[in-house]
Chains A and B, each alone.
Chain A
Amino acid sequence: MVTRVLLVLAILFGQAAHAELVIEVTQGRQSALPIAVVPFEWNGALGLPEDIGSIVNNDLGSSGYFRTLDRSLMLATPHTPEEVKYVDWQRLKQDYLVVGQITSDEGGYAVEFQVLDVHQQRTLIHHRVKGAATQLRDLAHYISDHIFGQLTGIPGVFSTKMVYVTTNRERSRFNLNFADADGAREQLIFRSDQPILSPAWSPDGKKVAYVSFENGQSEIYFQELATGQREKVVAWDGSNSGPSFSPDGTKLAFVHSRLGNPDIYVMDLNTRKAERLTSHYGIDTEPQWMVDGRHILFTSSRAGGPQIYKLDTVDSSVERVTFEGRYNARARMTADGRKMVYVHGNGDQFHIASQDMESGRVRILTRDTNLDESPSVAPNGSMVIYAATEKDRSILAAVSVDGEVKFRLPSRFGDVREPAWSPILN
């Protein structure tokens, strides 16, 4: 039995608000594993503010790797293996069963849970986790991550966060929000009456960089998530945008333009000295560090329309990497460096495509959303979150890198744009 205490990023600034985004799974995996998450036992005098079993159920279901069982169909609600009648769950065609108990623990909560194999009738996972009284959701996501990792072999990302921008219809208010990866616990971390765009996480997950127009031109800011402290980092005369941290967090790639000629720059974050790495008269923009920490993917109009290129930061050599279609832009890479995803445009159609870095094979991942943009890859490389347009509104949607799993995160009001998925936070 393992006991672990959760360390969770404390957000001191920004006001809490009800979750604006609610996940709707639109397409699951054919091979999704049937799993039943039984409501967890709690014997406290008062009800709990969060339903841990339900959160775990939603996490696993939204991943597309699992097909969860509706509670109303359950024939019994066991909390320990001893209480399980396997035949019930076999009849319901389940492969896995999750049972658990929540208890008070030093002012917080402890959750002991087990994952049972319905066919072999044995315990696969037996685990205990505890956290503070305010961390029920974190406990739930921790459990989801643990189960997901053990059963799929892929690290779970349910405890990760995202930042995104929301705006009103009039575009007179722009909010930079911070929320759980499932859209819950949204917090406003910066607000402006001018546009905010291109949020990017530092690799340690402690701060975000973004572009703000608050001073009448585009400038790059850093903001510490724990303290809310902001720092103006690039505010040269002209336009400054597209921040991207190097994998080791020591450098920042960005775009600077004066008089209509955007180029890629890299700033050493210790010395704050920047170097210009491209000097083409075309548009060079959207830099993204590759996992090797040496190359940068970027978008350039040097061949006419936008295409993705690879820049060597050591010798400044440039190599084109996209060739299919007239509009390929805004590349992001999976953590293993094997695939990139980007916006692929064809006439009025803009979709998210993935491309194998080695073979160059391209696959269009999204067909049922429109005007897709701003893809951001989950830190485990499984899903891509992106912004799309639906009935004149901007929503967030997600698709697995293999195109099999899809879900939407519509907002209750306004437009949601520019999602950025956090690294795995420890």
Chain B
Amino acid sequence: METLSHLGHGFSVAFSPMNLLWCLVGTTLGTAIGVLPGLGPALTIALLLPITYQVAPEASFILFAGIYYGAMYGGSTTSILLNTPGESATIVTALEGNRMARSGRGGAALATSAIGSFVAGTIGTLGVAFLAPVVVKFALAFGPAEYFSLMVLAFITVSAVLGSSSVRGLTSLFIGFVIGMIGVDLQTGQPRFTFGMNELLDGVDVIIAAVGLFAVGETLYMASRRYAGKDEIVPLKGSLYMTAAEWGRSWKPWLRGALIGFPIGAMPAGGAEIPTFLSYAIEKKLSKHKEEFGTVGAIEGVAGPEAANNASAAGVLVPMLTLGLPTSATAAIMLSAFQSYGINPGPLLLTTQADLVWGLIASLFIANVILVILNLPLIGLWVRLLKIPAPQLYAGILVFATVGTYGISQSPIDLIILYLLGAAGFLMRRFDFPTAPVIIGMILGPLAETQFRRAMTISNGDWSVFYTHKLSLVLLILAFIGLAGPHIWAFIEHRRRRGPEHVPGDA
């Protein structure tokens, strides 16, 4: 096995004491920046580039690997505890994770997220080491038509987060479309929904929207309900870590999440968000504890998406290392770091720089181990965040949100957007509109539009591309099954029962 010997060599590179230290520094730093909304791994690596020029390429890539994986871990911590996602890939984690935290199972949510990230990260990294050439072939088969069909499939999953009423859920989704369309239209360069403001030409950052809707909206809602005594946070109920039952409910979602996340992450336009939506939807469909979703928080809804986002983070490295294709901001920055060392990233990277590439892959494994070792004992500490009295906790979250939104961009417009979305989040909470579909609409809407229009431009207006391309057809059929199947079933069920369509508080 050639791969194994390469990998062995990679470990021998990564296992030097100095490189292990770099890995530790990277994972710690990555966790810290993952926690902060607005500051992601791409930005951090870009900022650290000048410092890392002074060290050997191996060491700096080991540092980057640590930052990259660490950010994914850190992002979920704040999603779960504070309902303030630090990365767009951890927005879905907040849905169930924060519910769990409020009902005293924050420790278990953090544990399943850390262990799930470890499992999925390891599977993903194994995938990078052994399957990269196969996966990349599959990923390149995806053209605009296939992506559009994938988006259609992803839209079907939205039904899983629409909440108790499809009218209000769809309203949220459409609001998301509108926010997502703000900015310059990529296909024609025309400004849309910008009200003539240059600051809006680049659109609204999805993280700002998520923090506004979830965290700021929540804060306003809690303030308005100060004397009602609703939604008291239970810091801890039962064991700090996962119980046997929770283990039993977690392991399958981890594996499924990893299997969804890795290939989609490897697709040039796949991203880390879509696999988390898909995983969430699948776990909700398969769960035997559907009543826990959206109420006390279902552990499957944390385990699956967390595994998916970490596996997709590994998947992104596939086109980067095999073809030199940067398919995410972080990959682009890492590639430019290669260049600054005089190493040309490209299809020949694996052969000309075997040491470096395998050292990087080995350090991804090590980073994963370090992260799980680092994070599990910290859970006890993190959970104590929930014991902070409400006034200081909410005030702290707002300071935090300011750092993330204003800190990087220095733009008061971003703060205004954050607060306006906070106000919207408050109203939505008050009038029982789900907020998650807004975020999903923001991410999927523009992607679907872009891919659809691209497909139509390339095909010269021929609609048949969506069903003559085999892969696209398969995805559309899957989407149709996903859409029609449960609805027909629900319709029959509804006719049979004629029960109330919506029972508030039960949603």
* A, B: real partners: no
CB within 8 Å of B: which residues of A?
Answer: none
CB within 8 Å of A: which residues of B?
Answer: none
